[in-house]
Chains A and B, each alone.
Chain A
Amino acid sequence: MKKHTLVALMQDRPGVLTRAVSLFRRRGFNIESLTVGHSETPGISRMTLVVESEAVEQVVKQLYRLIEVLKVSDVTDDPAVEREMALVKVHCTNTNRSEIVTLTQLFDAKIVDVANTSIIVEMTGSPNKVQNFVDVIRPFGIKEMMRTGRVAMVRGARTHQGSDYVGAEENGHVAASTWN
């Protein structure tokens, strides 16, 4: 089954994330990753989701049924920057520490914490690159790992801006509201 990367813009109303997640569960959509956060426009959240589905069109259409959803784009086949981040706590000893440091440098990852028997590496990159890093580092012994979902943005002049869909005035009430 093909994996699709979708980018969705939605009004930041109470419960909007729950609504989206509830919808995926109820319709049996298989969501591999989901990341939400603020967009450039106040009051508009941006979601990136990776969904494994033959019927990605249904995912898009069902999302549009949520009244908060402004725009959903399938960017799978677009030239897009896709990024994930992982925090990995790697087991280390005095003898292999430098080897881990070298690998980290090779992957352009960052060491963010060093202790006697462990190192925390912050790895950011394309989903593939993050996976490769994790595969390479695993033999050293991963004590703990936290990977984020994917975020995506199409390259070049094309944009998915919240302000394309919401006039500042139109969004005024929503941004000010606290319905929960």
Chain B
Amino acid sequence: MSEKMTGAHIMCEALVREGVEVIFGIPGGAIMPFYYAMYEYRDKFRHILCRHEQGAGHAAEGYARATGRVGVCVATSGPGATNLVTPIADAWMDSTPLVAITGQVSSLVVGKDAFQETDITGITMPITKHNYLVKRIDDIPYVMKEAFYLASTGRPGPVLVDITKDAQQARTVPNWDIKLALPGYKPTLQGNRKQIRAAVELLTGAQKPLIMAGNGVIMAGATEELRTFAERTGIPVITTLHGLGAFPEDHPLSIGMPGMHGWVHVNRAIQECDVLINIGGRFDDRVTGKASTFAPNARVIHVDIDPSEIGKNVRTEVPIVGDAKLVLQALIEEMPPREATAWMQHIRQLQATHQHKQQYLNRPDTNQLMPHDVYAALNRTLKERGNYRVITDVGQHQMWAAQLIDWSRPRSHITSGGSGTMGFAVPAALGAAIACPDETIWVICGDGGFQMTNQELATIVQEGITNIKIAIINNGYLGMVRQWQELFEDRRYSHTLLSGPDFARLAEAYGVCGMTVETVDGVEPAIEAAYNHKGTVVIDFRVEREVNVFPMVPQGKSIGDMIEQQPTANPTA
């Protein structure tokens, strides 16, 4: 190609070269040249016109989390760019590969408070892996290539490319002969053999070893290796919120989720274990509770691709920097087979004497629709039908989903973890639905979060997407906050009572199918009907309003101190 092209055409061409199949965005003044050029690329990649840039960002995240590929979102300068800040921060916290492209005012007026000028590179500096302000057309091919490379390699994350309008409009013959100049960026993939042997020695001598699997296992595509390693060593496996699906929960070695709303027996096992190997998790405080009291008897091995995560929150004896898949392969090679049956039996005993899924699903004797009825039915259906992704929002419904669905496949559970961004689920489902057109994309969200981003239903309809089914766990409250107020603030329900529209009618107004379920009997038929309806469905499950998520570690407390169930003084639940 030796023809002159505009910067905007070069941007499109770069996307094609990166193998991008879909981008999510909204046009505006400073990005109009790009949209002008994109018109000619309609058959090369798809553009999804969202209703809010936050929706575009979360949709790109949903696409990325479902596939492992880079999600791409686009916005104009100023308000368009600032609306992307929340999803960018979300992607940063959850290490989601994302490239955000924003238009910027012309380089001639940058710095002069021009119309819709915002210093988006300044704003996003602390929440991006890297970002660029591109003022010259000649830099576009290089920057685009580097942006995709950085977003997707090492520890993935968001990269923002801000391109001035005049750079988009200029013309040149692009030079695609690019050699990346990143001498300071060389992610370590192979774990150090010496450290791997040290880890093996610790694990071999352990009486009560534990494996903690996090998002890194899923991102590295290392679930098979994890399984082999666990089976070879007999070590019990716990999966963090983002590790759900990294190890099948119906496996005899799976013991469940740790942390604030993890199971009692899992947190107890952590507090008792003598060696803990964390693979691809970052010891978030929702996992560790009060960090100084976390796993007091454990010698810790931490496998992470990002060296800065090791030793940040939890003292670590054996640091292994590397890709989870390659490190697990090396561990499998080095580790002699062993068993840990007595320890496993002990954990199962703990499990039997404390609240766990089965007991949880034994519903109280009431006709009122309990949230758990919905999860029980959904879990059954998902198991029967398979072929699903579940996207959850943030709040009580999210924790119940994590607890009560039997996760079995990587990337089947997608949620906003590190940032806890309400409003994530509906737009993320849009991205996941485009990534996985042959699967059923279930959204589980609260009435609060649904009201933050449900405008993307219009996008879903316009794009002809038919494989999204939305379950609103409608408790008429900002439930998770209400729970804290109930438990720790003497039931002062300060501004958590929440009204909303009739969600079924709202759904109909958007042109999708809406249903309301108020009784236990109504749950299964509604789910069945949702599957039978060829199109997006919103089910408003009006559940018992003051049900709490248990067990629970109060914030700042040790994970050994769990509130196991509703304090008896309160008759509800």
Residues of chain A having any CB pair with chain B under 8 Å:
10-11, 14-15, 18-19, 22-23, 26, 57-58, 61-62, 64-70, 165-167, 170-174, 177-180
Contact = CB atoms under 8 A, between A and B. Distances in A.
A173 B133 CA distance: 16
B185 to A, nearest CB: 4
A23 B136 CA distance: 27
B142 A173 contact: yes
Contact of B126 (A23, A58, A174, A178): A23
Contacts, number: 69
Interface string B103-135: 000000000000000000110011001101111
A165 B133 contact: no
Interface residues of B, number: 27
B117 to A, nearest CB: 14
A179 B183 CA distance: 18
Contact of A67 (B133, B142, B184): B184
B185 A67 contact: yes
Contacts of B130: 67
Contacts of B125: 15, 18-19, 22
Given A26-B126, A179-B133, A170 B183 contact: yes
B306 interface: yes
B42 interface: no
A67 B307 CA distance: 14
A170 B178 CA distance: 11
Contacts of A62: 308
Given A173-B142, A179-B139, A64 B307 contact: yes
B181 interface: yes
A168 to B, nearest CB: 11
A74 to B, nearest CB: 15
Q: Which 6 A-B pairs rank lowest in CB-CB distance, beginning with the nearest?
A: A61-B308, A70-B184, A67-B185, A166-B183, A173-B181, A174-B181
A170 to B, nearest CB: 5
A173 B179 contact: yes
15 contacts: A11-B181, A18-B122, A57-B311, A58-B308, A61-B310, A65-B129, A65-B306, A68-B184, A69-B184, A70-B183, A70-B184, A166-B183, A173-B179, A179-B135, A179-B139
A165 B311 CA distance: 26
Nearest to A19: B125
B149 to A, nearest CB: 10
Contacts of B132: 179
Contacts of A174: 181
B369 interface: no
Interface string B130-171: 101111100100110000001000000000000000000000
Given A61-B307, A62-B308, A173-B142, A14 B185 contact: no
Given A15-B121, A173-B142, A165 B184 contact: yes
B312 interface: yes
A58 to B, nearest CB: 6
B139 A67 contact: no
B482 to A, nearest CB: 32
Given A19-B125, A173-B142, A179-B133, A64 B183 contact: no
Contacts of A61: 307-308, 310, 312
B292 to A, nearest CB: 14
Contacts of B143: 179
Contacts of B133: 14-15, 179-180
Interface string B418-441: 000000000000000000000000
Contacts of B310: 61
Contacts of A67: 129-130, 150, 182, 184-185
A170 B181 contact: yes
